[in-house]
Chain A
Amino acid sequence: MKFLQKLLKKTQQRNVRLGIFGEVGAGKTTLANYITRKYLGKIVGDVTGIPHETRKINEIENMTLRINGKEINFTIVDTPGLATYIDYREFQNYGLSEEEAIKRAKEATMGVIEAIKELDNVDAAIVVIDSTRLPFNQVNMMLIGTLELKKIPFVIAANKIDRLDARPHIVKETFSKKTVIPISALTGENVETLLEELAKLI
Protein backbone atom coordinates (compact mmCIF):
# COMPACT_ATOMS: atom_id res chain seq x y z
CA MET A 1 0.00 0.00 0.00
CA LYS A 2 2.80 2.37 1.00
CA PHE A 3 4.57 1.49 -2.23
CA LEU A 4 1.45 2.35 -4.17
CA GLN A 5 1.07 5.66 -2.34
CA LYS A 6 4.71 6.48 -3.04
CA LEU A 7 4.29 5.55 -6.69
CA LEU A 8 1.18 7.67 -6.91
CA LYS A 9 2.96 10.61 -5.30
CA LYS A 10 5.89 10.18 -7.64
CA THR A 11 3.56 10.11 -10.65
CA GLN A 12 1.76 13.19 -9.39
CA GLN A 13 5.06 15.03 -9.04
CA ARG A 14 6.58 13.89 -12.31
CA ASN A 15 8.33 16.49 -14.34
CA VAL A 16 6.29 17.84 -17.19
CA ARG A 17 8.22 19.34 -20.08
CA LEU A 18 5.93 22.16 -21.14
CA GLY A 19 6.65 23.61 -24.56
CA ILE A 20 5.48 27.08 -25.51
CA PHE A 21 5.04 27.19 -29.28
CA GLY A 22 3.65 29.61 -31.81
CA GLU A 23 4.31 31.95 -34.69
CA VAL A 24 6.91 34.68 -34.62
CA GLY A 25 5.76 37.60 -32.48
CA ALA A 26 2.84 35.75 -30.90
CA GLY A 27 4.10 36.50 -27.38
CA LYS A 28 5.65 33.18 -26.34
CA THR A 29 8.58 34.65 -24.43
CA THR A 30 6.33 37.26 -22.80
CA LEU A 31 4.10 34.44 -21.55
CA ALA A 32 7.03 32.28 -20.41
CA ASN A 33 8.50 35.31 -18.61
CA TYR A 34 5.20 36.10 -16.89
CA ILE A 35 4.90 32.54 -15.58
CA THR A 36 8.50 32.13 -14.45
CA ARG A 37 8.71 35.64 -12.97
CA LYS A 38 5.58 35.00 -10.96
CA TYR A 39 6.58 31.59 -9.63
CA LEU A 40 10.38 31.73 -9.59
CA GLY A 41 11.21 35.41 -9.71
CA LYS A 42 13.29 35.11 -12.88
CA ILE A 43 12.73 35.42 -16.61
CA VAL A 44 13.36 33.04 -19.50
CA GLY A 45 14.47 35.49 -22.17
CA ASP A 46 14.48 39.06 -23.41
CA VAL A 47 11.61 40.66 -25.29
CA THR A 48 12.69 43.50 -27.61
CA GLY A 49 10.01 43.74 -30.26
CA ILE A 50 12.43 42.70 -33.02
CA PRO A 51 11.14 39.57 -34.80
CA HIS A 52 12.93 36.31 -34.01
CA GLU A 53 14.35 37.62 -30.74
CA THR A 54 14.25 34.04 -29.40
CA ARG A 55 16.50 32.06 -31.72
CA LYS A 56 17.40 29.24 -29.36
CA ILE A 57 15.36 27.14 -27.00
CA ASN A 58 15.36 28.55 -23.48
CA GLU A 59 14.43 26.35 -20.54
CA ILE A 60 13.70 26.86 -16.90
CA GLU A 61 13.64 23.67 -14.85
CA ASN A 62 12.04 22.68 -11.57
CA MET A 63 9.13 25.04 -11.44
CA THR A 64 6.54 23.55 -9.14
CA LEU A 65 3.03 24.84 -9.52
CA ARG A 66 0.05 23.97 -7.36
CA ILE A 67 -2.91 24.01 -9.70
CA ASN A 68 -6.37 22.74 -8.81
CA GLY A 69 -4.84 21.08 -5.71
CA LYS A 70 -2.43 19.20 -7.93
CA GLU A 71 1.30 19.79 -7.56
CA ILE A 72 3.04 19.68 -10.92
CA ASN A 73 6.73 20.06 -11.54
CA PHE A 74 7.37 21.79 -14.86
CA THR A 75 10.27 22.48 -17.13
CA ILE A 76 9.20 25.53 -19.10
CA VAL A 77 10.52 25.43 -22.65
CA ASP A 78 10.32 28.69 -24.57
CA THR A 79 10.79 27.92 -28.26
CA PRO A 80 11.76 30.15 -31.21
CA GLY A 81 8.88 31.35 -33.34
CA LEU A 82 7.77 29.20 -36.24
CA ALA A 83 7.71 30.60 -39.77
CA THR A 84 7.83 29.40 -43.36
CA TYR A 85 10.03 32.27 -44.53
CA ILE A 86 12.58 34.64 -43.05
CA ASP A 87 13.55 37.76 -44.98
CA TYR A 88 16.73 39.21 -43.49
CA ARG A 89 15.85 42.65 -44.89
CA GLU A 90 13.01 42.94 -42.34
CA PHE A 91 15.60 43.11 -39.54
CA GLN A 92 17.20 46.11 -41.19
CA ASN A 93 13.98 48.02 -40.47
CA TYR A 94 14.91 47.66 -36.79
CA GLY A 95 18.28 49.32 -37.24
CA LEU A 96 20.41 46.22 -37.80
CA SER A 97 23.21 46.40 -40.35
CA GLU A 98 22.98 44.10 -43.38
CA GLU A 99 25.64 41.82 -41.89
CA GLU A 100 23.85 41.64 -38.53
CA ALA A 101 20.53 41.04 -40.27
CA ILE A 102 21.91 38.15 -42.35
CA LYS A 103 23.46 36.61 -39.22
CA ARG A 104 20.20 36.97 -37.32
CA ALA A 105 18.23 35.41 -40.20
CA LYS A 106 20.60 32.43 -40.27
CA GLU A 107 20.20 31.96 -36.51
CA ALA A 108 16.44 32.31 -36.88
CA THR A 109 16.31 29.49 -39.46
CA MET A 110 18.17 27.23 -37.02
CA GLY A 111 15.73 28.30 -34.32
CA VAL A 112 12.73 27.25 -36.42
CA ILE A 113 14.31 23.82 -36.98
CA GLU A 114 15.00 23.51 -33.24
CA ALA A 115 11.41 24.43 -32.42
CA ILE A 116 10.05 21.80 -34.84
CA LYS A 117 12.35 19.14 -33.36
CA GLU A 118 11.24 20.11 -29.84
CA LEU A 119 7.73 18.93 -30.72
CA ASP A 120 9.13 15.41 -30.23
CA ASN A 121 10.40 16.15 -26.72
CA VAL A 122 7.59 17.88 -24.88
CA ASP A 123 4.92 16.30 -22.66
CA ALA A 124 2.44 19.17 -22.97
CA ALA A 125 2.20 22.41 -24.87
CA ILE A 126 0.76 25.90 -24.94
CA VAL A 127 0.13 27.19 -28.46
CA VAL A 128 0.31 30.97 -28.39
CA ILE A 129 -1.69 32.75 -31.07
CA ASP A 130 -1.67 36.51 -31.54
CA SER A 131 -5.37 37.36 -31.45
CA THR A 132 -4.80 40.62 -33.34
CA ARG A 133 -3.91 38.56 -36.45
CA LEU A 134 -5.98 36.05 -38.38
CA PRO A 135 -5.36 32.64 -36.77
CA PHE A 136 -6.09 30.46 -39.80
CA ASN A 137 -2.69 30.04 -41.37
CA GLN A 138 -0.51 27.11 -42.29
CA VAL A 139 1.93 27.61 -39.39
CA ASN A 140 -0.80 27.34 -36.76
CA MET A 141 -2.49 24.48 -38.62
CA MET A 142 0.82 22.60 -38.88
CA LEU A 143 1.58 23.15 -35.22
CA ILE A 144 -1.83 22.15 -33.88
CA GLY A 145 -2.10 19.22 -36.31
CA THR A 146 1.33 17.90 -35.27
CA LEU A 147 0.49 18.12 -31.54
CA GLU A 148 -2.75 16.25 -32.19
CA LEU A 149 -1.05 13.54 -34.23
CA LYS A 150 1.60 13.08 -31.55
CA LYS A 151 -1.15 13.02 -28.88
CA ILE A 152 0.50 15.79 -26.88
CA PRO A 153 -2.01 17.60 -24.64
CA PHE A 154 -2.20 21.30 -25.37
CA VAL A 155 -4.17 24.46 -24.80
CA ILE A 156 -4.38 27.47 -27.09
CA ALA A 157 -3.65 30.90 -25.64
CA ALA A 158 -5.36 33.64 -27.67
CA ASN A 159 -2.86 36.30 -26.64
CA LYS A 160 -2.76 40.12 -26.61
CA ILE A 161 -6.30 40.69 -25.34
CA ASP A 162 -4.98 43.87 -23.72
CA ARG A 163 -4.91 45.36 -27.22
CA LEU A 164 -7.93 47.11 -28.70
CA ASP A 165 -7.63 45.27 -32.02
CA ALA A 166 -7.62 41.83 -30.35
CA ARG A 167 -10.27 39.42 -31.62
CA PRO A 168 -9.96 36.31 -29.42
CA HIS A 169 -13.45 35.20 -30.50
CA ILE A 170 -12.05 34.55 -34.00
CA VAL A 171 -9.39 32.26 -32.51
CA LYS A 172 -12.14 30.49 -30.54
CA GLU A 173 -14.31 30.10 -33.64
CA THR A 174 -11.39 28.83 -35.74
CA PHE A 175 -10.39 26.23 -33.19
CA SER A 176 -13.86 25.59 -31.78
CA LYS A 177 -13.10 21.99 -30.79
CA LYS A 178 -10.00 22.93 -28.80
CA THR A 179 -9.47 24.60 -25.44
CA VAL A 180 -8.89 28.27 -26.23
CA ILE A 181 -8.23 30.75 -23.42
CA PRO A 182 -8.04 34.47 -24.20
CA ILE A 183 -5.07 35.88 -22.28
CA SER A 184 -2.74 38.80 -21.98
CA ALA A 185 0.79 37.60 -21.40
CA LEU A 186 1.72 41.23 -20.85
CA THR A 187 -0.66 41.93 -17.96
CA GLY A 188 -1.14 38.34 -16.82
CA GLU A 189 -4.90 38.43 -17.38
CA ASN A 190 -6.32 34.88 -17.49
CA VAL A 191 -2.90 33.22 -17.33
CA GLU A 192 -4.00 31.40 -14.13
CA THR A 193 -7.05 30.05 -16.00
CA LEU A 194 -4.79 28.94 -18.83
CA LEU A 195 -2.60 26.95 -16.42
CA GLU A 196 -5.66 25.49 -14.71
CA GLU A 197 -7.02 24.27 -18.04
CA LEU A 198 -3.62 22.85 -18.90
CA ALA A 199 -3.42 21.02 -15.56
CA LYS A 200 -6.73 19.31 -16.35
CA LEU A 201 -5.13 17.75 -19.42
CA ILE A 202 -1.96 16.51 -17.72
Chain B
Amino acid sequence: MYIGVEYLSISLFRKLLSEGSLEQIICKFKSGHAIVIEGSLSPIEKSMLVEEIMKNIDVNFFGIELFELTLPGKIGRRKRLLTIMAPKLRLVNFRVYEGRENYGIICELKTSFFPEGAF
Protein backbone atom coordinates (compact mmCIF):
# COMPACT_ATOMS: atom_id res chain seq x y z
CA MET B 1 0.00 0.00 0.00
CA TYR B 2 1.27 3.46 -0.89
CA ILE B 3 0.37 6.27 1.42
CA GLY B 4 0.37 9.76 0.06
CA VAL B 5 -1.22 13.08 -0.56
CA GLU B 6 -2.25 13.94 -4.10
CA TYR B 7 -3.16 17.21 -5.64
CA LEU B 8 -6.00 17.32 -8.15
CA SER B 9 -7.26 20.34 -10.02
CA ILE B 10 -10.78 21.34 -9.04
CA SER B 11 -11.86 21.35 -12.69
CA LEU B 12 -10.83 17.70 -13.09
CA PHE B 13 -12.49 16.76 -9.83
CA ARG B 14 -15.72 18.53 -10.86
CA LYS B 15 -15.64 16.83 -14.26
CA LEU B 16 -15.29 13.37 -12.68
CA LEU B 17 -18.00 14.16 -10.15
CA SER B 18 -20.49 15.44 -12.72
CA GLU B 19 -19.83 12.47 -15.01
CA GLY B 20 -20.39 10.08 -12.13
CA SER B 21 -16.93 8.61 -12.68
CA LEU B 22 -15.38 8.90 -9.27
CA GLU B 23 -14.06 5.31 -9.31
CA GLN B 24 -10.50 6.52 -9.83
CA ILE B 25 -10.77 8.86 -6.87
CA ILE B 26 -12.38 6.22 -4.67
CA CYS B 27 -9.54 3.84 -5.65
CA LYS B 28 -7.05 6.46 -4.56
CA PHE B 29 -8.78 6.79 -1.20
CA LYS B 30 -8.87 3.03 -0.79
CA SER B 31 -5.18 2.79 -1.56
CA GLY B 32 -4.31 5.30 1.13
CA HIS B 33 -4.21 8.64 -0.63
CA ALA B 34 -5.55 11.89 0.72
CA ILE B 35 -6.70 14.24 -2.02
CA VAL B 36 -6.17 17.98 -1.98
CA ILE B 37 -7.92 20.36 -4.33
CA GLU B 38 -7.50 24.08 -4.49
CA GLY B 39 -10.92 25.60 -4.21
CA SER B 40 -14.18 24.65 -2.65
CA LEU B 41 -16.96 22.30 -3.67
CA SER B 42 -20.54 23.55 -3.69
CA PRO B 43 -22.96 22.02 -1.15
CA ILE B 44 -24.64 20.04 -3.96
CA GLU B 45 -21.25 18.72 -5.12
CA LYS B 46 -20.40 17.75 -1.55
CA SER B 47 -23.65 15.81 -1.24
CA MET B 48 -22.95 14.04 -4.55
CA LEU B 49 -19.50 13.14 -3.23
CA VAL B 50 -20.93 11.86 0.07
CA GLU B 51 -23.43 9.69 -1.84
CA GLU B 52 -20.61 8.13 -3.87
CA ILE B 53 -18.52 7.59 -0.75
CA MET B 54 -21.43 5.88 1.03
CA LYS B 55 -21.88 3.46 -1.88
CA ASN B 56 -18.24 2.39 -1.52
CA ILE B 57 -17.92 1.93 2.23
CA ASP B 58 -16.87 -1.56 3.24
CA VAL B 59 -14.93 -3.33 6.00
CA ASN B 60 -11.64 -1.73 4.94
CA PHE B 61 -12.77 1.70 3.74
CA PHE B 62 -14.95 3.69 6.14
CA GLY B 63 -15.32 6.91 4.17
CA ILE B 64 -13.59 10.26 4.26
CA GLU B 65 -13.31 13.33 6.36
CA LEU B 66 -13.78 16.58 4.50
CA PHE B 67 -11.92 19.70 5.48
CA GLU B 68 -12.15 23.14 4.00
CA LEU B 69 -9.31 25.46 4.89
CA THR B 70 -8.83 29.13 4.15
CA LEU B 71 -5.46 30.11 2.73
CA PRO B 72 -3.89 33.53 3.22
CA GLY B 73 -4.53 36.06 0.46
CA LYS B 74 -7.34 36.36 -2.03
CA ILE B 75 -8.03 35.65 -5.68
CA GLY B 76 -9.69 38.84 -6.76
CA ARG B 77 -12.40 39.29 -4.15
CA ARG B 78 -12.70 35.62 -3.38
CA LYS B 79 -11.11 33.79 -0.49
CA ARG B 80 -8.48 31.19 -1.33
CA LEU B 81 -9.79 27.86 -0.17
CA LEU B 82 -8.33 24.41 0.02
CA THR B 83 -10.37 21.23 0.27
CA ILE B 84 -8.78 18.18 1.79
CA MET B 85 -10.42 14.78 1.52
CA ALA B 86 -8.85 12.48 4.07
CA PRO B 87 -9.72 8.78 3.85
CA LYS B 88 -10.47 6.60 6.84
CA LEU B 89 -9.21 3.09 6.35
CA ARG B 90 -8.91 0.03 8.54
CA LEU B 91 -5.15 0.44 8.88
CA VAL B 92 -4.63 4.07 7.95
CA ASN B 93 -6.31 7.16 9.26
CA PHE B 94 -5.62 10.66 7.99
CA ARG B 95 -6.24 13.66 10.18
CA VAL B 96 -5.93 17.31 9.31
CA TYR B 97 -4.84 20.00 11.73
CA GLU B 98 -4.73 23.73 11.45
CA GLY B 99 -1.70 25.42 12.96
CA ARG B 100 -0.98 29.10 13.29
CA GLU B 101 1.17 29.29 10.18
CA ASN B 102 0.53 26.01 8.47
CA TYR B 103 -1.82 23.15 7.91
CA GLY B 104 -0.80 19.59 8.42
CA ILE B 105 -1.99 16.17 7.44
CA ILE B 106 -1.19 13.45 9.92
CA CYS B 107 -1.25 9.88 8.77
CA GLU B 108 -1.84 7.41 11.57
CA LEU B 109 -0.85 3.83 10.85
CA LYS B 110 -2.28 1.04 12.96
CA THR B 111 0.34 -1.34 14.32
CA SER B 112 -1.18 -4.17 12.29
CA PHE B 113 -0.30 -2.16 9.17
CA PHE B 114 3.22 -3.53 9.47
CA PRO B 115 3.22 -7.29 8.93
CA GLU B 116 5.49 -9.40 11.13
CA GLY B 117 9.02 -9.51 9.79
CA ALA B 118 8.61 -6.27 7.89
CA PHE B 119 11.68 -4.85 9.59
Distance in Å: Cβ of B66 to nearest Cβ of chain A:
4
Chain B count of residues within 8 A CB distance of the other chain:
20
Complexed CA–CA distance, A143 and B47 (Å): 8
The secondary structure that dominates the B interface is mixed
Mark the stretch among B8-16, B54-62, B71-79, B99-107 that contacts chain A: B54-62
Complexed CA–CA distance, A141 and B63 (Å): 18
Complexed CA–CA distance, A112 and B88 (Å): 17
Complexed CA–CA distance, A149 and B57 (Å): 28
> Which residues of A from 111 to 157 have beta carbons under 8 Å from B?
112-113, 116, 119, 138, 141-146, 148-149
> Which residues of B from 13 to 49 have beta carbons under 8 Å from A?
42-44, 46-47
- Using CB atoms, name the residue of chain B closest to A111: B54
The secondary structure that dominates the A interface is helix
> Which residues of B lie under 8 Å from residue A146 when comparing CB positions?
43-44, 47
Does A3 sit at the interface, judged by CB under 8 A?
no
Complexed CA–CA distance, A143 and B63 (Å): 18
Q: Is the beta-carbon distance between A138 and B68 smaller than 8 angstroms? A: yes
Partner of A145, one of B43, B57, B62: B43
Chain A interface size range: 20 to 34
Partner of B62, one of A86, A106, A110, A112: A86
Does B116 sit at the interface, judged by CB under 8 A?
no
Distance in Å: Cβ of B78 to nearest Cβ of chain A:
16
What are 17 sample pairs from A and B whose C-beta atoms fall under 8 A apart? Answer: A83-B63, A84-B50, A85-B88, A86-B57, A86-B62, A87-B62, A88-B59, A110-B54, A113-B51, A116-B47, A116-B51, A138-B46, A138-B65, A138-B67, A142-B46, A143-B43, A144-B43
Which residues of A line the B interface, CB within 8 A? 82-88, 102, 105-106, 109-110, 112-113, 116, 119, 138, 141-146, 148-149
